[in-house]
Structure 1
Amino acid sequence: MNESNRKRGVLSPCAACKLLRRRCAQDCVFAPYFPAEEPHKFANIHRVFGASNVSKMLQELPEHQREDAVSSMVYEANARVRDPVYGCVGAISSLQQQIDLLQTQLALAQAEVVHLRVRQNASYSSSNSHGGFYAASPSNSGSPPTTLPASSRGKAIYNMDMVFDQANMGYPIW
């Protein structure tokens, strides 16, 4: 409906033509991507890239790629308004730092699980070697042994192929 009314000249100009205060032509390159109901969408693009450059970019692209290009430009322009120096790169860098931090925390948690399971297995084997009685030793820190199910005895608990530098994390190497 929008397109048919646009051809008859009934609709208001697109957001781009409205901002630029010009008459919106029937073949306006901006009209399909910047409807009059979304003026904010074009405002940041115009501020960051300039209307002339956006028009040139859109005209050089095949029509099936224009919508993706507009959404990318909108995203980049909004990022540039928030962070004029780094734009999208700043957002990507921040997310990468969060991923690195979470991966480190995950590796620490996995190492702690391995450490606790090794202590549990040592405690289990020491209780079995003493005729079933529990003997306190520095290796089990006074914790009572827990019995492992028969199905988990003798299985590998954790894939130890993962290399983890614990010296830099303040954890002892066991």
Structure 2
Amino acid sequence: MASPSPPTTTTQQACAACAHQGASSCPPNCGLAPYFPADKPKRFWYARLMFGMERILGFSEAEKQGIRPNGSTVISMAAVVYLADARVEDPILGAYGRIRKLQQQLDRLKAERARHSPAPSGNGKPSPS
């Protein structure tokens, strides 16, 4: 299986990470631009708040330095982006809020399935004739 590759973007303006540092455009080798596009400044803000700039840069550079196996940068940054997007969506509960909503949806679906399924007869053993 081929290792995942980061999304590619060509940006004229600075990504949210570079803009945070006051740059008007990204350097050609900006490793954060695919994950923090200019139109998602809140994603970067929450990621920086939760992980700190040093750790985010560490996640994005670990593979290049041989610290982590191929593809791990994409996976690490996908987790950072997921958690940051969850905070944008729900600043109080974040990813827990997403999980809670999914659990509630699952509970509703199970209840609906139980209403539409035939009731089990007895203890599951055939009745003696």
Give the TM-score band, short-chain normalised.
0.5 to 0.7
Match of residue 98 from structure 1: 105
State the superposition RMSD in angstroms.
Answer: 3.4
Equivalent-residue separation in structure 2 for 1:162 and 1:86 (angstroms): 42
Size of the aligned set, in residue pairs, is: 109
Larger RCO, structure (CA 8 Å, separation 6 or more) = 2
Which segments of 5 or more consecutive residues in structure 1 lack a partner in the other structure?
Answer: 115-158, 164-174
- 1:29 is aligned, of 31, 39, 49, to 31
Cα 1:17–1:104, aligned 2, differ >3 Å: closer, same or farther?
same
**Structure having the larger proportion of residues in helix:** 1
TM-score (structure 2 length as normaliser): 0.58
- What stretches of structure 1 move > 6 A for 4+ residues in a row? none
Closer, same or farther: CA 57–108 of 1 in aligned 2, 3 Å:
same
- Counterpart of 1:87 (choices 87, 94, 107) is 94
Is residue 71 from structure 1 mapped to residue 108 from structure 2 by the alignment?
no
Larger radius of gyration: 1
Matches of 1:48 and 1:67, distance apart in 2: 18
What percentage of residue pairs aligned between the two structures are identical?
31
How far residue 54 of structure 1 moved from its aligned partner, in angstroms, is 0.8
What TM-score does the superposition give when structure 1 sets the normalisation length? 0.46
What per-residue deviation string (whole Å, max 9, x for no partner) do you get for residues 124-156 of structure 1? xxxxxxxxxxxxxxxxxxxxxxxxxxxxxxxxx
